[in-house]
A and B are shown apart, each in its own frame.
Chain A
Amino acid sequence: MAASPLLSAVTSSSRQLLLLLRCISFAKKAQVRISPEGIRISIDEGSIMEAFVFLEKALFTTYKYQTPQPRSAQDDSSDPPVFEISMTALLEILNIFSLSDPTTSSKRPGFSNEPYDANTAHRLHRHAGLNAFSNTTLGITGTCSLTYEGEGSPLSIHMSESDVTTTCDLTTYTADSTEEIPFNRDHLALKTIIRSANLLDSITELSSLNPAEITIQATPNPSRPSGANFTFTASGPLGSANVEFTQDTSSDTPILETFFCPTKTEASFKFSLIKAAQRAMASATKVSLRLDEEGVLSLQFLVEMEVGGVVAGQGGGVAFVDFRVVPLVDDERGNGVEDGSSDEEM
Chain B
Amino acid sequence: MANLNFSLSSEATGRVYELLVCLAKFGETVAIEARGEKVRNTTVDVYSNLTRVQLTFTALNLSRTAYASFALDSRSFFINYEFQGSGAAKDGDRFTCQILNKALQSVFKGRANDSRGRESAVERCDVSVQDQPDKAECRLVVKMLCKHGMTKTYRLTYEPVEVMHALFDRTAASQGWKISARVLREYIEYFGPKTEQLDLLAAEGKAIFTSFTEKVQDGKEVLKQPLETAISLHTEDFEDFHMQENMHIVISVKDFKAIVTHADTLRTTINAHFSFPTRPLQFSYQSFGIYCEFTLMTTGDYRGASSTPNPNFVTNRSSSRQPSTTPAVAPSRSASEMPPPARPVPNKPPPASQSQRLSLKESMRQAPATRPETDPHPDSLFMPGGDDQVWNPPNYDEEEEMLGWDANNEDPSANFHPTFRDSGSAAQSSRGVQPSAHASQEGLEPTQRLSQLHGMFD
Contact = CB atoms under 8 A, between A and B. Distances in A.
Contact of A195 (B102, B103, B119): B119
B106 interface: yes
Interface in B150-170: 150-157
A286 to B, nearest CB: 12
A302 to B, nearest CB: 16
A245 interface: yes
A48 to B, nearest CB: 27
Given A195-B119, A251-B147, A239 B156 contact: yes
Nearest to A237: B157
A12 to B, nearest CB: 33
A201 B152 CA distance: 10
B148 A253 contact: yes
B360 to A, nearest CB: 34
Interface stretch (A100-108, A202-210, A261-269, A325-333): A202-210
A327 to B, nearest CB: 23
Interface string B99-111: 0101100110100
A255 B150 contact: yes
Nearest to A228: B151
A132 interface: no
Given A197-B119, A249-B148, A249-B149, A240 B106 contact: no
A226 B151 contact: yes
B120 interface: yes
Nearest to A247: B149
Contacts of B107: 208, 241
Most chain-B CB neighbours within 10 Å: which of A240, A246, A251, A254? A240
A201 B109 CA distance: 12
A92 interface: no
Contact of A244 (B106, B119, B147, B151): B151
A239 B150 contact: no
B333 to A, nearest CB: 52
Interface string B184-223: 0000000000000000000000000000000000000000
A248 interface: yes
A198 B154 contact: no
A183 to B, nearest CB: 26
A215 to B, nearest CB: 13
Contacts of A128: none
A228 B119 CA distance: 18
Interface in A134-174: none
Contact of B152 (A195, A243, A253): A243
Contact of B156 (A201, A228, A238, A255): A238
A242 interface: yes
B2 to A, nearest CB: 18
Contacts of A245: 149-151
Contacts of A228: 151
A198 B155 contact: no
A244 B148 contact: no
A254 B149 contact: yes
B152 A205 contact: yes
Nearest to A209: B106
Interface string B117-148: 00110000000000000000001100000011
B151 A241 contact: no
A251 B155 contact: no
Nearest to A252: B148
A240 B155 contact: yes
A256 interface: yes
A208 B109 CA distance: 10
Nearest to B142: A241
Contacts of A256: 149
Interface string A177-199: 00000000000000000010110
Contact of B106 (A208, A248, A249, A253): A208
Most chain-B CB neighbours within 10 Å: which of A226, A241, A247, A253? A241
Nearest to B158: A239
A342 to B, nearest CB: 14
Nearest to A238: B103
A28 B422 CA distance: 62
B153 to A, nearest CB: 5
A141 B336 CA distance: 80
Nearest to B120: A201
B409 to A, nearest CB: 26
Contact of B103 (A202, A239, A242, A247): A239
B47 to A, nearest CB: 34
A240 B107 CA distance: 11
Most chain-A CB neighbours within 10 Å: which of B107, B119, B148? B148
Interface string B67-111: 000000000000000000000000000000000101100110100
A243 B120 CA distance: 11
B155 A239 contact: yes
Contacts of B103: 208, 238-239
A198 B120 contact: yes
Contacts of B147: 251
Most chain-B CB neighbours within 10 Å: which of A202, A246, A253, A255? A255
Most chain-A CB neighbours within 10 Å: which of B106, B156, B157? B106
Given A197-B120, A201-B120, A243 B150 contact: yes
Nearest to A243: B152
Contact of B155 (A226, A241, A246): A241
B139 A239 contact: yes
A285 to B, nearest CB: 12
A202 B152 contact: yes
Given A198-B119, A249-B148, A251-B148, A244 B154 contact: no
A195 B139 CA distance: 31
Interface string A214-239: 00000000000010100000000011
Most chain-B CB neighbours within 10 Å: which of A202, A205, A228? A205
B139 A244 contact: no
A243 B151 contact: yes
Nearest to B103: A238
Contact of B153 (A198, A241, A246, A247): A241
Contacts of A255: 148-150
B154 to A, nearest CB: 4
Contacts of A239: 103, 139-140, 154-157
A53 to B, nearest CB: 25
Contact of A246 (B109, B119, B149, B154): B149
Interface string A47-90: 00000000000000000000000000000000000000000000
29 contacts: A195-B119, A197-B120, A198-B120, A198-B150, A202-B152, A205-B152, A208-B107, A208-B109, A209-B106, A238-B156, A238-B157, A239-B139, A239-B140, A239-B154, A239-B157, A241-B107, A243-B150, A243-B152, A243-B153, A245-B151, A246-B149, A246-B150, A247-B149, A249-B149, A251-B147, A253-B148, A254-B149, A255-B148, A255-B150
Interface of A: 195, 197-198, 201-202, 205, 208-209, 226, 228, 238-249, 251, 253-256
Report, nearest first, the 4 A-B pairs whose CB atoms are least far apart. A208-B106, A249-B149, A239-B156, A238-B103
Interface of B: 100, 102-103, 106-107, 109, 119-120, 139-140, 147-157
